[in-house]
Amino acid sequence: MTRTAASLPGSSTAASRADCNAPMAGQPFWWRSHLSRPAKPSKPSGGPMTDTTTPGAGKTLWGHPVGLAVLTGTELWERFSYYGMMGLLTLYMTKQALLPGHVEHIIGFPGFRAVVEGVFGPLTTLALASQIFGLYTGFIYATPIVGGLIGDRLLGQRRTVILGTLLMAGGHILMTFEPFFLLALLLLILGAGCIKGNMAVQVGALYGKDDTRRTRAFGIYLIGLNVGAFTAPLIVGTLGEKVAWHWGFGAAGIGMLISLVIYLLGQKHLPPDTLKAAGSEKAPGLRKGEGRLLAGLMLLLIPYILVFSAYQQAWNIFMVWADTSVDMTFGAFKAPVTWFATLDGILTILAVFFCVRLWAWQARRGKEPNDVGKISFGMILGTLSFLFLAGGAFLAGSGLTAIIFPVLFFVAADLMIPFVDTVTMSAFSRSAPAALGTTMMGIFYLATFVTNVTVGWLGRFYETLSHAQFWLLHAGLSAAGLLFLILLGKPLTRMLEPIPFAPTADPPIEATLGASRG
């Protein structure tokens, strides 16, 4: 799932984690439902300009700038479209798009398949579908680097986001027409890059550096992302599975159009764009000891890639397996398998809230584990989650697996997310040297690209292994990450020890959002 407030830049201590959870403590963030006008801001134009207004000035809603509601609503519907599409993609390819009688109609597909098989070797229909899923989700996290540069250097954040929403809306609409399948995926990748590279930057620009509302604002923003993510399968997934594929993709397209309308109508409440000249910001050089921190962060990516190469299969081959091998019937009703994605989203939010409070409680007693300890426990949960799937498949034999086993899988896997995902990104945002803030963001996106491509590659083994063996393979990936941390835990902990008084990077918040899940 998407990131939570616990992984925001600067949230490295228990105190900051508790602050990140502030909207949920006492009165909820929506309690103060009032609209006030403390100051009338100068009206920004739609184009790039220099920011001469005070961040956070102007109308406020629930104690925050109205622009926060605009950006949260925009991103909610974008995530609705993205996760709706992702839940259906592999099912659509394996049940229609790549089958004889359909695949011949896809423009440019013979050449595309030749290129993919030239890299990954000969692929069956299922293996090809899995690899396309991996490449699609992988490039989703490679393009935000380019999108961020376009927003910073060329068009400004507003125009780049508008371009991105138009591209994604066009991609979802083209998904309803079989011949344009590949073009649709390309537009969705490019559009996501434009949006992900610029949206969260605007959230931060609504507030001054020392504004105490800043962290809570990102908490609200991230809640909006998660709402969009876990409601999408209920609507997009159900329409796609139960009515027709193009109905599901059409619903995702409507979601993107709603996102665009919200963004356009709220332009006057958004922060003005600022364009940066290339090379205008001279970063400081590396300080003594920062090379050690950098090496530690690179090593921390190894268990991250291993466990999420397994976990992300929940959106790929898991959907195919659940569709054919899990008992989804409740009386006379068969539930859509994409509803598992909604369960995934809800459990992720609950798991993060639980962990934020758990770590704060442990910190008050001086017993909070360090980063390596938390990630190691997350690896145990990741391994356990796939053992549930393997055990369920083994017990079912040639019959249908009881639904309790996938449910237990998501309980364990989603509890793993804050222990691995949130903690890893907290370490990156806390320890990244100031000289390499943008570079570290790029490295993390590259790791996420590798993770998703690996997910696609692993899908080929679904047809050559038994179902139990296939899920044991994924349990083995998480176990390998745990073994890595057991062997290198102590030196890695020393490498990640902070340097006194060393300035760290404040990377774009998008570096901590949705790298593994959107």
Superfamily assignment of 287-518 in CATH?
MFS general substrate transporter like domains (1.20.1250.20)
If phi > 0 it is left, if psi is from -120 to 50 it is alpha, else beta; for residue 94 that is: alpha
% of the chain beyond a pLDDT of 90 = 57
Among 12-21, 252-261, 276-285, 368-377, which is the least confidently predicted range? 12-21
Q: What is the DSSP letter of 49?
A: -
Instruction: Centre a 10 Å sphere on the Cβ of residue 370 and count the other Cβ atoms it contains.
Output: 15
Q: How far apart are CA 246 and CA 507, in angstroms?
A: 39
How many whole angstroms from its chain centre is CA 56?
Answer: 27
497's CB contacts (< 8 A; 6+ apart) are: none
For residues 293 and 499, the answer to whether their CB atoms sit within 8 Å is yes
pLDDT at 38 over 50: no
Residue linked to tokens 């609705």: 80
Q: What pLDDT score was predicted for residue 51?
A: 42
Amino acid, res. 273: D
pLDDT at 1 over 80: no
Q: What pLDDT score was predicted for residue 461?
A: 98
Instruction: Centre a 10 Å sphere on the Cβ of residue 503 and count the other Cβ atoms it contains.
Output: 12
In 160-237 the beta strands, taken as DSSP E runs, fall at none
Which token pair is 135? 């490449």
pLDDT per residue as tens digits for the range 70-100: 999 999 999 999 999 999 999 999 999 999 9
Amino acid, res. 238: T
pLDDT at 254 over 90: yes
Taking each helix axis from N to C terminus, what angle separates 290-311 and 404-417, rounded to the nearest 10 degrees? 170
More confident residue, 475 or 426: 475
For CATH 1.20.1250.20, the residue range(s) in the chain are 34-275, 287-518
Among 59-68, 194-203, 236-245, which is the least confidently predicted range? 59-68
**Over the Cα atoms of the chain, what is R_g?**
22
Measured distance between the N- and C-terminal CA atoms of the chain, rounded to whole angstroms: 7
Q: How far apart are CA 132 and CA 274, in angstroms?
A: 37
Local structure of 61: helix, strand or coil: strand
**For domain 34-275, which architecture applies?**
Up-down Bundle (1.20)
pLDDT per residue as tens digits for the range 348-389: 889 988 998 999 899 999 999 999 999 999 999 999 999 999
pLDDT per residue as tens digits for the range 128-140: 999 999 999 999 9
More confident residue, 54 or 103: 103
Local structure of 246: helix, strand or coil: helix
Q: What pLDDT score was predicted for residue 279?
A: 56
For residue 201, which phi and psi values (nearest 5 degrees)?
-60, -40
Beta-ladder partners of 273 = 48
